[in-house]
Structure 1
Amino acid sequence: MVAWNELCRVARRRTGGAARAAAPGFHQGRHSRQFVYAGSPQLLHAYQGLLLEPLWLLDTRRDGRWQLVSTALGHSLNLRLQALLRAWLPALPQAAEAGPGIARLRLVLPVPGIEPSPSPGRPINSQSPLVQGLAAYLEQVASVVQLEDSVDGRLLGGGVNLQSPAAGQEHDRGDDWQDLLGCDWQQLLQFKPAERAAG
């Protein structure tokens, strides 16, 4: 859950909100390498729209530190995500701005082909847990998704998918929020290394 907690920390810092002590209740999703969090399924029924935050990429720097990098709004992956969600979940319209009844979607994908970097020559002092020694955990992450209230930032749900050697299943049209939380985002977007720098 390292990537989940780091995403929460970065999101709070970016939005100016106070860091909250998160104690998410995860349960197994559709398969053994998927974990879904939802405070209460009834919470999501009050939301009728989806505000997409620019995609985050989990990557390593040259000094070996892990980092979360936010893509530009017009990045090709964000445009693909918007189009896929419109086709896959037509019952959840996309909103242009935050407001009541609008949930914010935050998605993290690892940059494919990440290889362990050499350890830096001196200790790293940072509040972020994304430093050396966590590669064994973070390299297992296929995607992290979070849903929060677009007005007050309250966490509504989310999910973590771990890497799997087996090919993913085809994604039929989704019906509701649970399909959104249980989606295999890496497979749905078919994210390739060359798209890391695509704009």
Structure 2
Amino acid sequence: MKPFFNLGCALVAWNELCRVSRTRGRPEGATPLPFQQGRDKRQFICHETAPRLASYGSLLLEPIWLLNHNVNGRWQLTATALGNGLNLRLQTLLRAWLPEMPLAPEAGPGVMRMRLAVRGYLVDIGAPPPFLRPPRAIDARSPLLSGIAPYLEQVASVVQLSDAQSGELLGGGVNLLDVRLPPEPSQAGSWQALLACDWPRLLQAGESALAAG
């Protein structure tokens, strides 16, 4: 059952980001993008055809979304401010890592929008690891014991690529906790690298991760 649970976690995280960010999704009648296992059993990706994605030459970044608990213990996805240090770090990393895909200042033809959600503590350099953080007090009424919470507990990051003008989803990837990926950056093409990247690791390590790759 473990592979099906992992896929379920990926689908729940994907749908939640689509819901919260009001992603337009696929055109009516279009074939859904199927998820498949990526470079690890705890990574799942989906994408349009290679020729379709290759027609995009620049990237428009949305502010990073953080997957965290609120004060009541409920899961929440919150967008960071544009000037947040994480967003500035992401811009710097992408300019150094993928110079062939420049960052676009606004939506336009051939521009791909990138939406990234990451587990909050995984990219907070000052945050203690999970085993050092105090446990949350929960009871039988806690949302952590029902619904989608058990699935979101397993999620490390979600990335979505869409057409910057139409909003049509073009691809995406979900990494679960403890995913084991090769050193970055990937030697694949730009959009493949965006889907299969270990985003929490890159954002935590910064330029040292690129040097190690």
Q: CA deviation at 1:116?
A: 4.8
2:196 and 2:25 map into 1 onto residues whose CA distance is 28
Q: In angstroms, what is the RMSD of aligned CA positions?
A: 2.8
> Structure 1 residues 73 and 154 mapped into 2: Cα distance closer, same or farther (>3 Å)?
same
Tell me what 2:6 maps to: none
Tell me what 1:50 maps to: 59
Q: CA deviation at 1:24?
A: 3.5
> Structure 1 residues 140 and 121 mapped into 2: Cα distance closer, same or farther (>3 Å)?
closer
Unaligned 5+ runs, structure 2: 1-10, 122-129, 206-213
Determine whether 1:6 maps to 2:16: yes
Preserved contact between residue 65 and residue 77 of structure 2 (Cα < 8 Å): yes
Tell me the percent identity: 51
> Structure 1 residues 182 and 64 mapped into 2: Cα distance closer, same or farther (>3 Å)?
same
Q: How do 1:17-36 residues align onto structure 2 when only pairs under 5 Å count?
A: 23-36=32-45
Find 1:160's aligned residue among 162, 174, 191: 174
1:46 and 1:19 map into 2 onto residues whose CA distance is 18
Find 2:74's aligned residue among 65, 72, 92: 65
> Structure 1 residues 147 and 117 mapped into 2: Cα distance closer, same or farther (>3 Å)?
farther
2:22 and 2:145 map into 1 onto residues whose CA distance is 19
The SS at the match of 2:68 is strand
Amino acid at match of 1:187: R
Find 1:38's aligned residue among 37, 43, 47: 47
Q: CA deviation at 1:119?
A: 4.7
Higher helix share: 2
Preserved contact between residue 53 and residue 105 of structure 1 (Cα < 8 Å): yes
